[in-house]
Every structure is written in structure tokens, then in C-alpha cells.
Amino acid sequence: MHATTEVLTTSLKGAGMRMTPQRAAICANLAERDDHPSAAMIYDDLRPQFESLSLATVYNTLDALAKLGVINSLGGAGDGKVHYDADTEPHVNLACISCNKIVDIPSSHVQELDEEITSTSGYKLLGARVLYYGLCPECQEKST
């Protein structure tokens, strides 16, 4: 399930964070994307609308959302930047080490693994990362 703007903003409010227009815009930007943005990408998108927006605000908001389990922090995609995913349902992320594109691949195996981990550990899972690295078809074609 891809988190909606409402889910993200409600989660921040529930954690005691004040909902500023900047935080609401960060939530909306992330909820509307499926390209696994970095904090800098979100900052670049929103900066024209919010002159007072700082990159630290974007990072802090994304970090809070990740700690609440409503988004996933994917780590780097070969570009040295942390990428974020508003889809916390079990799936596989594929990262191209050449163009740094990240795509989602649904997998029943990941769902089964989540169920196995939950039943054997007693943990309430808030999310998971399954991230594979490789070369996307377009980059493979360019390299031949």
C-alpha cells in the first residue's frame, strides 16, 4: 500500500509533531511519487514554493516518517544518497547502479517471508527492505 498524504500527516501529528505547511508539502510530495526520491530531490521540488524550507527540515521529516514505519528508507542506490519509499507493503526494490533508477517488483515470496518472520518472532513488523542491485535493461543496452 502506497501511503497517502493523509496517512503521512496524521502519523506525524500522532507523534506530536506540529504540522507546518512545509511538512505537509513534504508528505504530499512523497505520497504522490513512485520514483523513490532522495531528500534532495524533494527539497529541489518544494524550494520554489517555500523559500524558508531547509534541507534539514526535509531530512528530519523523512527520518520521523521512517521511524514511525509509514515509509521505508532504502539506503543508497549506488549514488551515495538515501532514497525513500512510501510503499511499505512487502515488495522488492531493484536499483540500477548505472542510472540509479529504483523500481518496485511485487513478490509473493516477500509477503510469505514477512508472515514467517512475524509468526516466528512475535515482532509487529513496520516495514522491510529487500533491495537488489544490478543494471536495468536500458543501461545494459547502452553498455553493449
Distance of CA 144 to the CA centre of its chain: 32
Asked if residue 51 has pLDDT above 70, the reply is yes
Pairing outcome for strands 83-85 and 91-96:
unpaired
pLDDT for 110 equals: 85
Output the pTM of the full model: 0.81
Model confidence over 56-82: pLDDT tens digits?
999 999 999 999 989 988 876 677 888
Give the burial string for 99-122 (b: 16+ CB within 10 Å, else e).
Answer: ebebeeeeeeebeeebeeeeeeee
pLDDT for 66 equals: 92
Q: Where are the alpha helices (DSSP H) in the chain?
A: 5-14, 21-31, 39-46, 55-68, 108-121, 137-142
Model confidence over 70-122: pLDDT tens digits?
998 887 667 788 889 888 888 888 989 888 888 888 888 888 898 899 999 99
Model confidence over 9-26: pLDDT tens digits?
999 999 999 999 999 999
- Return the higher-pLDDT residue of 75 and 43: 43
- Return the higher-pLDDT residue of 105 and 1: 105
State in Å, rounded, how far the first CA of the chain is from the last one.
Answer: 37
Give 77's DSSP letter.
S
pLDDT for 90 equals: 80
